[in-house]
Amino acid sequence: MTNTMWGGRFAASPAEVMEEINASIDFDKRLWRHDILASKAHVAMLAATGILKAKEADEIARGLGQVMAEIEGGTFTFSRALEDIHLNIESRLRELIGPVAGKLHTARSRNDQVATDFRLYLRDELGAIDRALGQLQLALADKALQYAAAVMPGYTHLQTAQPITFGHHCLAYVEMLSRDRGRFADAAKRLSECPLGSAALAGTGFPIDRDMTAKALGFAQPTANSLDAVSDRDFALEILAGASIAAMHLSRLAEEIVIWTSPQFGLARLSDKFTTGSSIMPQKRNPDAAELVRAKTGRIAGAFQALLMVMKGLPLAYAKDMQEDKEPVFDALDALKLGLSAMTGMVADLEPDLKAMKRAAASGHSTATDLADWLVLNLGLPFRDAHHVTGKIVALAEAKGCELKKLPLADFQSVEKRITKDAYAALDVAGSVKSRTSYGGTAPVNVRREANRWIKRLEKQGLSR
């Protein structure tokens, strides 16, 4: 059987494999709600402009409502022979209301239809992702407030660098996620143009009102060039690019959770809710959720590459290649949303081991910079010289196998005779973080202020725990 929706000039049916490669209904059925909404807006416009009679438009709208109810109720039968969601819906409409259903496709093509549906779908997804990112920010900001003064080792090169607070570390991720939200909000602005009415590629001779459909569907305006409108997938690429960056952020946090909860670091603990056991090693508590969040970055960034490669060689305007746009996007955004909720759960669940963190923060001569700063402030040494002096003192401590603060004053004075016992205060980790009050620094007063500011801002956005 040739396709009943476009088979006029075809004498023979497609090969089985043709149907197999051509059909998109198995995945684009997700667009059903948006497809019907767009059709309703289109038919209302066709009536308002006198292209259809009011009675015809009413019948079509009523039929579309019925199709929607059938899909919602799970009684709709999707057919691969009908290729895609657009033809499945229109074909059912015809069964329900008869030949007048054929008038719905006046001044429209599947090319502008699918571009419109996909934008509508992604607009909803952007809303859901923004909320999920906000939720994770809130979980992190809560932790930050709770642990504003909890000292932990700060690393560069994964080597102990300087003491920081756990709250400060949490807020670093709040900032990253804020940029992610900004990127998605920016994509949402550019996405807000309606392709409907661009028809196949050249526009239409019917006196349509594109402002009306754009407005009815909540777009800021209609797209300005019909060729561009049906062949553009930048909006999906931008979202995948943003998703790849957001996933990379989640992956970094996941990696830190894996590190912190490993017995050798032992800086934090996840409860049984977010760990799994081993089938052979009874002692194991594996951070599987964190590992899976880390791994999902691969498929999300892969989806971005996949769509970029689909698009890169396409001449204007629509080509069937573009049907391959949906699966990577659906998969990537599903993975991102799942990763975000798993991460939000893990952050709330994560308990830092405050003693272990403080102990680790004090090891590795982490306050050597504070000693150098003390030499600058109290003895007037240029920082470079203070750095040199401190380096020699660290070497002495290392030779004796002790922490800087355990090194006798005589050893300090053997390097720089003007050092007094007051210098020991500079070596205290709590004192060190407290002193870092520069804007954006790790001092608990800063962390508390920033955490409160974020919590207030996020609560105002209607986010709750």
Q: Does 115 bind ligand ARG (CB under 6 A)?
A: no
Q: Which residues make beta-bridge pairs with 154?
A: 162
Q: Does 108 bind ligand ARG (CB under 6 A)?
A: no
Stretch that binds ligand ARG, among 109-117, 134-142, 280-288, 451-459 (CB under 6 A): 109-117
**How many other β-carbons are positioned within 10 Å of the β-carbon of residue 388?**
15
**How many other β-carbons are positioned within 10 Å of the β-carbon of residue 112?**
27
Considering only residues 26 to 45 of the shown chain, the ones binding ligand ARG according to CB under 6 A are: 28
Find the shortest distance in angstroms from Cβ 110 to ligand ARG.
Answer: 4
Find the shortest distance in angstroms from Cβ 313 to ligand ARG.
Answer: 16
Stretch that binds ligand ARG, among 45-53, 88-96, 316-324, 399-407 (CB under 6 A): 316-324
Q: Which residues make beta-bridge pairs with 194?
A: 222
CA–CA separation, 181 and 174 (whole Å): 10
Q: Does 322 bind ligand ARG (CB under 6 A)?
A: yes
Q: Does 442 bind ligand ARG (CB under 6 A)?
A: no
SS3 category, 271: coil
Side chain identity at 461, as an amino acid letter? Q
Q: Which of 91, 111, 116, 390 binds ligand ARG (CB under 6 A)?
A: 111
Find the shortest distance in angstroms from Cβ 24 to ligand ARG.
Answer: 4
Nearer to ligand ARG, 323 or 344 (CB): 323
Q: Which residues make beta-bridge pairs with 208?
A: none
Nearer to ligand ARG, 59 or 90 (CB): 90
Q: Say which residues have a Cβ less than 8 Å from residue 124's Cβ, sequence separation at least 6.
A: 34
Considering only residues 65 to 94 of the shown chain, the ones binding ligand ARG according to CB under 6 A are: 84
Find the shortest distance in angstroms from Cβ 37 to ligand ARG.
Answer: 17
Q: Is 157 a catalytic residue?
A: yes
Radius of gyration of the chain (CA): 31
Please answer whether residues 194 and 221 qualify as being in contact, where contact means their C-beta atoms are separated by less than 8 angstroms: yes
Find the shortest distance in angstroms from Cβ 322 to ligand ARG.
Answer: 5
Find the shortest distance in angstroms from Cβ 157 to ligand ARG.
Answer: 47
Please answer whether residues 429 and 361 qualify as being in contact, where contact means their C-beta atoms are separated by less than 8 angstroms: yes
Of the listed 13, 79, 262, 278, which one is catalytic?
278
Helices (H), 380-438: 383-400, 409-415, 429-435
Stretch that binds ligand ARG, among 124-132, 184-192, 314-322, 384-392 (CB under 6 A): 314-322
Find the shortest distance in angstroms from Cβ 117 to ligand ARG.
Answer: 9
Cα distance between the two ends of the chain: 55
Nearer to ligand ARG, 27 or 206 (CB): 27
Please answer whether residues 205 and 108 qualify as being in contact, where contact means their C-beta atoms are separated by less than 8 angstroms: no
Stretch that binds ligand ARG, among 249-257, 270-278, 320-328, 368-376 (CB under 6 A): 320-328
Nearer to ligand ARG, 332 or 372 (CB): 332
Please answer whether residues 299 and 331 qualify as being in contact, where contact means their C-beta atoms are separated by less than 8 angstroms: yes
Find the shortest distance in angstroms from Cβ 236 to ligand ARG.
Answer: 12
Considering only residues 254 to 273 of the shown chain, the ones binding ligand ARG according to CB under 6 A are: none
Please answer whether residues 42 and 213 qualify as being in contact, where contact means their C-beta atoms are separated by less than 8 angstroms: yes
The answer for 316, left when phi > 0, alpha when psi is -120 to 50, beta otherwise, is beta
DSSP code at position 276: B
CA–CA separation, 251 and 249 (whole Å): 5
Side chain identity at 42, as an amino acid letter? H
Please answer whether residues 173 and 253 qualify as being in contact, where contact means their C-beta atoms are separated by less than 8 angstroms: yes
- The residue count of the chain comes to 465
Q: Does 318 bind ligand ARG (CB under 6 A)?
A: yes
Q: Which of 110, 210, 233, 294 binds ligand ARG (CB under 6 A)?
A: 110
Number of residues that bind ligand ARG (CB under 6 A): 10
Q: Which residues make beta-bridge pairs with 193?
A: 221
Nearer to ligand ARG, 86 or 168 (CB): 86
Q: Which residues make beta-bridge pairs with 110?
A: none
Q: Which of 24, 135, 198, 366 binds ligand ARG (CB under 6 A)?
A: 24
Stretch that binds ligand ARG, among 53-61, 171-179, 218-226, 319-327 (CB under 6 A): 319-327
CA–CA separation, 218 and 373 (whole Å): 58
Q: Does 114 bind ligand ARG (CB under 6 A)?
A: yes
Find the shortest distance in angstroms from Cβ 78 to ligand ARG.
Answer: 13
Stretch that binds ligand ARG, among 278-286, 317-325, 382-390, 393-401 (CB under 6 A): 317-325
Nearer to ligand ARG, 79 or 278 (CB): 79
Please answer whether residues 117 and 134 qualify as being in contact, where contact means their C-beta atoms are separated by less than 8 angstroms: no
Q: Is 168 a catalytic residue?
A: no
Strands, E, within 193-232: which ranges? Answer: 193-194, 221-222
Task: Please list the active-site residues.
Answer: 157, 278
Q: What residues make contact with ligand ARG under the rule CB under 6 A?
A: 24, 28, 84, 110-111, 114, 318, 320, 322-323
